[in-house]
Structure 1
Amino acid sequence: MAFYNRENEIRRLSKALSSTQAKLVVLYGRRRCGKSTLIRQILPDDSFYFMAPQADEAIQRAHLANVVAGKIKGFDQVVYPDWESLFTNLQNSLTPYSSCVTLCLDEFPYLAKSSSSLPSILQKMMDQLKQRKFHLVLCGSSQQMMQGMVLDSTAPLYGRSNEILKILPLEAGWIMDSLNCNPVQAVEEYATWGGVPRYWELRKEYHTYEEAVKEAILDRLGILHEEPIRLFLDDMRESVQAYSILSVVGKGSHKLSEIAGRLNRPATHLARPLNRLIQLGYLTREIPFGESLKSSKRTLYKVADSFMNFFFSFVSPNLSRLELGLTEQVYENMAPKLNTFFAHEWENLCRRSVPMAPISGLSFGQAFRWWGPNINGEIMELDLVAESVDKQHLLVGECKWTDVIDSTPILQELSRKAQLLPALKNRSIIPALFVKSMRKETDNSFQLFTPEQVLARLKR
C-alpha cells in the first residue's frame, strides 16, 4: 500500500533521529494506524528495529540480541541476565561509532508487561549515560500503557522524551487516492472504514463495496468482525464495559441518562469509562454551537470513529444472526439504511472541513451543530454553525447527502433559521450548502461545497 501523508510526523522524527545527541522518541496510537510503517519509513540503514514478541523477558532479550547481531557481530553470543547488561553491552559496542544510531523497540508495552522494571531501567540509563550512543524509539499500540509510561507525572520516563507523537487515523481526503474512487464513493467508503490505513488496504482486496462489507466485517470469520474487542483489549481494563457503552450509543442512546438507563448503572459510575473512551478517540461529546462543555446541559455522546460507528450501527445489533451465518440477510436489511448513515457521516466531514481553509476569504473556528429553542421558542436544528476568527461572521450551513436540483427553498429555510439563532448576536451570516451534487448554480449568494471540495479541504 502506498504511504500517505504523515509529512509532519516524518519531519519531526527525521530531525530528532539525525541529531548528534541521543534522543528519546515515543510513538503511540491506535492499532493499524501505520506506526510501524512510519518508523520503518524513516529509520536510517544502520538502525536496529525490534518488533517485541509477547514472550518471557529472557526470550525477548535473546530476540533483540539477534537483531543487534545483524550489525554488531557476536552480540548474540552473550546470555543477558537482565536488561541493564544488554543495554550496557550495546553502549560499549557502539563506542567506536562517530554518530548516534537508532534503536527502535516496537510494541514496547509487551516488553514492559514482561518486565515491569524496564521503564525505570531506561530512565536510569538515560540519566547516567550522558554520552549515550543510540537514539531510543519506543512505539506501541496500547495507548493506555504508552500514555501511562511517558505522560503520567509519576512514571519513570515522564519528562524525558524529546518527541511524543500520537499517530492518528488519516483524514478522509486521502481515501480517494488510496482506493482510486470518485468523491461520492470516497465519502461512503470513509463512512464505513474510517481513517485507519490497514482497513483501506483490506478494502482494496475486494472488487465491490458490498463484497468488502460482507466478507471483512459482517461475516463471523471476517478479519474485522471482532476488531472493536481487540482494540478495547489493548486499551481498556473493562473491555466488556467499553463495548457495552458503544453498543447503546450506536443504537441511539446519546444522553448520559439514556446510556445509564440502558446499561442499568448509575450515571455517576460512567464518568471514568466515558472519559477514557473519549481520550482514546472512540467517543465524542457533542454540544450545541455557543455552549461550553463544562456548563452545557445538552451534551450528547456520539461514536467518534467512523468504522466504530458503522460497526455499532450495523454489526453489533445483528451479532446473533451473523453468528448463524445469515450475512446476506443482514446486508439486505441494512442496505436501505446506508444512505441515512452516510448522510450523518457526511455532516461530520463537512463540519470537520470548515476550519481547514478559508471560506469566502475568512478563517473559521470549529464547526458545530445547533439544536434547541430559537428566539421565538420554537425547536430548531442547524447542521453546521461556525464563527469566524474575527468574530464578525457566522457560517451557517445545511448538509444534504442528496442530489439537489433547486437550492432556492433550501436557502430560504436556512436563512430563516439563521435569523432566529439565539447566538447570532449581530454577526453577519454566510450561508453554505454542502450537498452530494447540485445542478449548476448561477447564484453567488451562498457557498457551495460538494464531496470533491470537502475532501480536498481534508487532505492535510
Structure 2
Amino acid sequence: MKFNQFIDRQDSLKRLRNALLRTTPQFLVIYGRRRIGKSTLIKEIMQDKDVYFLSDQTNEANQRALFAKAIAYSIPRFDKVVYPDWETLLLELNDRLSERITVCLDEFPYMVKSCASLPSVIQKLLNGKTLKYDLIICGSSQQLMQGYVLDKREPLYGLADEIIKLPPIPVSYIGQALNVNTIAAVEEYSIWGGIPRYWELRADYPDMDTAIRELALDTKGILAEEPQRLLRDDLRDTIQTSTILSIIGNGVNRITEIASRAGKEATQISEPLSKLRELGYIRREIPFGESEKKSKKGIYRINDNMLQFYYRFIAPHRSILELRRIDTVMHLINAQFTQHVGDCWEHLCRQYISGNEIDGIVYNIASRWWGKIFPEGNKEGTMIELDVVAESFDKKHILIGECKWTNKEDAQRLARTLSEKAAHLPFIKDGQEVHLVLFLKQEPEHQESIRYFLPEDIIETI
C-alpha cells in the first residue's frame, strides 16, 4: 500500500527545495539504506519537465540508451541518437536545454559499476560550471555513496552542494501511518523499525500477525531474504557479517564470545563489527560513566529492528520454515514477543531521556548500567542491571529508570526495588539528587508512588 500522505522528511525536503531555489545549478547527493525512502523523497521535488533515471545493473551502453529514453520524455527525439560515451550524452543534454531542470541519477553505484570513469566525467562538467541543470545522485550502497563524495581520493570529493543521508523515520510517525494506538505503535516499531517501505508492506495486511506470516515467515515473502539484500548492498563478505548478526541476535553480545561462536579470534571480527556499526546495523553499548574508547565492558546489540527480529526469530528456524511450519515458528515468536518488544522499549526510553528536559532538568545521553553493588553485609556483591541512567548537564541530578513492557505493574513494588538498588550505586556523586522513574506499558497500580512514563509520553517526543 502506498501512503497518500508524505510521512516525515520535512527537514530533508526543505533542504532540497532551498537548494533548487539557488541561482546556480546544484550538485546534490542523497543516500541511505535500501527502502529508506530516497526515491519517494526525490519524487516529491521532481516536476514534469525534470528527468528521473533509475539505473539497473546492465552494461554501460544499455544504461546510456535507457537514460536517453528517460530524457526523451522531456526532450523529444533525444533517444534517436546513439551516444558513444557519458560525456557526450550529458553535454548534449546541456546544449538542448532552454530552461533549468533537475536531473536525478538513482542507484548511481550501478552506473559507476559499469563505467568507472563516470565520476571523473561528472567532475569535469561540474568544474566547468557550464551545466544548465541541477544534478542529483542517489544510491542505496551507503559505503559507495559515502566514498564517492567524502573520500579525498575520489573525483567528486568536495563538489556536492548538499549531502543528505536519510535516517530511519522516528517511532512517532508509525502510529499515524498504520492508524494504531501508542502501545501497538511500539510493538509494530519493534518489528518494522523506521523503514517506510516496511510500513507500506505491513499496511497491506489486516493485523500484525498476518503481516509477519506473509512478509517474513513465508519463504516466498517479500522480506524473507531482506537481510541478505541489505548486506549485499554494502559488504563483500556477507557470510561473515550475517554470521555475526545471527550470533548477536541470539543474545551473545561480548566480542570475545561472538568471536568464539564464529570460530575466529577477536581481532579477526573487529573490522566487520566496525563496518556494521558504520552502517547503523549494530551498536556498541557501554555501562554508564565508562569511556567509549577505554571501556572493556562493551557489548554489541543489533540496532535495526527488522534485523533484530529476523536474526532472533527467523534465521534460527529457516529449516522449519522451508517445511511450511509457519504456525510452529509463530508460536515461538508469540512466546518471546513481550521480551523482544521490551528490548525495543528500553532503547526508545533512553532516546527519550537523552537531551530532553524532564521536570525542568535537561539530561545528557542516557545509557544502561550493569555491575556489582555492595549492600551492607554483602561482601560478595550483587550483580544488577539498570535500564536507563542519565546525568543532567549541570551534573547536579541523576535519573535512574526501569522499563517494563508488561501489564498491571505495581509501581510501589518497583519503586521500592529501584530505590534499594540506587542506594548502593558506585557512580552517584556526593550531593547529586537522584530521580527514580518508571517507563511502563500501562497505568500501574499505586501510581502515586513514583514518577512514570507511558508510551504516549515517549513516542510523541522522539
Task: Tell me the equivalent position of 1:77.
Answer: 80
- The 8 Å contact of residues 412 and 446 in structure 2, kept in 1 or not, is answered as no
1-structure distance, mates of 2:180, 2:447: 28
Unaligned runs of 5+ in 1: none
Cα deviation 1:241-278 (Å, max 9, x = unaligned): 11111001111110001110001011111111100001
Match of 1:404, SS state, is coil
2-structure distance, mates of 1:185, 1:158: 44
2-structure distance, mates of 1:442, 1:302: 32
Task: Tell me the equivalent position of 1:107.
Answer: 107
Equivalent residue in structure 1 for 2:401, among 397, 404, 408: 397
Task: Tell me the equivalent position of 1:318.
Answer: 317
Unaligned runs of 5+ in 2: 376-380
Structure 2 counterpart of 1:137, which letter?
I
- The 8 Å contact of residues 411 and 445 in structure 2, kept in 1 or not, is answered as no
**Is 1:433 the equivalent of 2:438?**
yes
Structure 2 counterpart of 1:304, which letter?
N
Task: Tell me the equivalent position of 1:285.
Answer: 284
Deviation at 1:45, TM superposition (A): 3.5
Deviation at 1:442, TM superposition (A): 6.1
2-structure distance, mates of 1:382, 1:405: 17
Structure 2 counterpart of 1:366, which letter?
I
Match of 2:264, SS state, is coil
- The 8 Å contact of residues 401 and 437 in structure 2, kept in 1 or not, is answered as yes
Cα deviation 1:346-405 (Å, max 9, x = unaligned): 111111111264211122222100001236543221110011222221111110112234
Distance verdict in 2 for CA 1:277–1:117, change over 3 Å: same
Task: Tell me the equivalent position of 2:451.
Answer: 447
2-structure distance, mates of 1:229, 1:370: 33
Structure 2 counterpart of 1:28, which letter?
Y
Match of 2:155, SS state, is coil
Deviation at 1:446, TM superposition (A): 4.0
2-structure distance, mates of 1:365, 1:10: 29
Q: How does 1:138-287 map to 2 (within 5 A)?
A: 138-287=137-286
Cα deviation 1:174-229 (Å, max 9, x = unaligned): 11111111111111111111111111111111112111111111111111111000
- The 8 Å contact of residues 356 and 457 in structure 1, kept in 2 or not, is answered as no
Match of 1:403, SS state, is coil
Deviation at 1:436, TM superposition (A): 0.5
2-structure distance, mates of 1:259, 1:354: 30
- The 8 Å contact of residues 36 and 195 in structure 2, kept in 1 or not, is answered as yes
Task: Tell me the equivalent position of 1:125.
Answer: 125
Task: Tell me the equivalent position of 2:335.
Answer: 336
**Is 1:55 the equivalent of 2:58?**
yes
Task: Tell me the equivalent position of 2:418.
Answer: 414
Match of 2:15, SS state, is helix
- The 8 Å contact of residues 430 and 446 in structure 1, kept in 2 or not, is answered as no
Match of 2:386, SS state, is strand
Deviation at 1:73, TM superposition (A): 2.4
Deviation at 1:447, TM superposition (A): 2.9
Structure 1 counterpart of 2:437, which letter?
A
1-structure distance, mates of 2:354, 2:383: 27
Structure 2 counterpart of 1:264, which letter?
G
Deviation at 1:441, TM superposition (A): 5.7
- The 8 Å contact of residues 434 and 450 in structure 1, kept in 2 or not, is answered as yes
2-structure distance, mates of 1:146, 1:359: 39
Task: Tell me the equivalent position of 2:96.
Answer: 93
Cα deviation 1:129-164 (Å, max 9, x = unaligned): x23211110000011211111111211111111111
1-structure distance, mates of 2:313, 2:332: 10
Structure 2 counterpart of 1:241, which letter?
Q
2-structure distance, mates of 1:93, 1:208: 52
- The 8 Å contact of residues 22 and 131 in structure 1, kept in 2 or not, is answered as no
Task: Tell me the equivalent position of 2:378.
Answer: none
Q: Give the RMSD, CA atoms, in angstroms.
A: 1.5
Distance verdict in 2 for CA 1:375–1:157, change over 3 Å: farther
2-structure distance, mates of 1:70, 1:262: 55
2-structure distance, mates of 1:9, 1:148: 21
- The 8 Å contact of residues 432 and 446 in structure 1, kept in 2 or not, is answered as yes
2-structure distance, mates of 1:430, 1:436: 20
1-structure distance, mates of 2:264, 2:447: 55
1-structure distance, mates of 2:131, 2:28: 14
Equivalent residues, number: 453
Match of 1:27, SS state, is strand
Structure 2 counterpart of 1:252, which letter?
G
Equivalent residue in structure 1 for 2:21, among 13, 18, 23: 18
2-structure distance, mates of 1:432, 1:223: 41
Bigger drift between 71-80 and 294-303 goes to 71-80
- The 8 Å contact of residues 66 and 75 in structure 1, kept in 2 or not, is answered as yes
Match of 2:24, SS state, is coil
Match of 1:438, SS state, is coil
- The 8 Å contact of residues 394 and 428 in structure 1, kept in 2 or not, is answered as yes
Bigger drift between 292-301 and 47-56 goes to 47-56
1-structure distance, mates of 2:95, 2:382: 75
**Is 1:34 the equivalent of 2:33?**
no
Structure 2 counterpart of 1:234, which letter?
D
2-structure distance, mates of 1:316, 1:15: 44
- The 8 Å contact of residues 404 and 435 in structure 1, kept in 2 or not, is answered as no
2-structure distance, mates of 1:414, 1:440: 16
Structure 2 counterpart of 1:411, which letter?
A
Structure 2 counterpart of 1:347, which letter?
E
1-structure distance, mates of 2:331, 2:373: 40
Aligned residues with identical type, % of pairs: 45
**Is 1:359 the equivalent of 2:325?**
no
Bigger drift between 419-428 and 245-254 goes to 419-428
- The 8 Å contact of residues 412 and 450 in structure 2, kept in 1 or not, is answered as no
2-structure distance, mates of 1:46, 1:428: 62
